[in-house]
Amino acid sequence: MFKCLAANPSCVHRGERLIAYERRDLTALIKEEEKLDELIKSCARQIGYQCQEFYSRRFAYLTYEDVSQLPSLKEQTVIVIRAPAETQVRVPHPEESLQVHIISINGPVDAFLLSEKTLPTECATASGVGASLVNPAAPGNEFFFPLTAKPYFNTPTAGESCSIIM
């Protein structure tokens, strides 16, 4: 077996060449990783733009059937919330589940009450804004629950805090 000793000049030279090759390879890999990171960021931005496009949002919907078939939501009050990114939803007393606070700084918040029961047509929210209850399963209503349906609660401007009291 060949042993490389520090006293052997050809062995030292060979080791230096290996280190130089490794450094060159490492530099190339770092540059390639930076290119890939930029591509990932670019793709994420493009996806974000697509999600914000009017035409993309126009066709987004959630069916009433989708929500009503979730076993964990049977016999529960269900409020579907449509809100921009970074909207905060807080339940002050989770054990009681009687209040929900929604805060958005990036745009309006829409909340839709889903119910198979007959519901009153008008209600008032804690902030005094009038709103309507929606019964998507009622005769005459479309079976799917479009995100453009009339909201149960709507905050007219960004930055407002609102409460839903059940």
Q: Does residue 108 share a domain with residue 43?
A: no
Considering the domain architecture, whether residues 50 and 100 belong to the same structural domain is answered as no
Minimal CA–CA distance to 90: which of 156, 147, 161?
161
Are 99 and 39 in a shared domain?
no
Angle at 79 between CA 107 and CA 96, to 5 degrees: 110
Residues 83 and 161 in one domain: yes
Residue 153 and residue 96 share a domain: yes
pLDDT at 105: 84
Same domain for 80 and 117, yes or no, is yes
CA 23/CA 17 separation, integer angstroms:
10
Whether residue 87 is found in the same domain as residue 22 = no
Q: What is the pTM of this model?
A: 0.39
- Residue 100 makes CB contacts below 8 A (sequence gap 6+) with 79, 89, 90, 91, 163, 164, 166
Structurally, the chain folds into a number of domains equal to 2
What secondary structure, in 3-state letters, does 41-58 show? HHHHHHHHHHHHCHHHHH
Q: Model confidence over 80-95: pLDDT tens digits?
A: 888 888 888 888 887 7
CA distance 122 to 131: 6
Query: Are β-strands 144-146 and 61-63 bridged in parallel, bridged antiparallel, or unpaired?
Result: antiparallel
- Residues 31, 101, single domain; the answer is no
Q: Are residues 88 and 14 both part of a single domain?
A: no
DSSP code for 151: P
Least-confidence region, from 91-95, 106-110, 136-140: 136-140
pLDDT at 112: 80
Percent of the chain scoring above 90 in pLDDT: 11
Structural domain of 102: 75-165
> What's the longest Cα–Cα distance across the chain?
94
Q: Tell me which amino acid residue 121 is.
A: T
**For the residues 28-38, what does the mean pLDDT come to?**
95
Query: pLDDT at position 46, please?
Result: 85
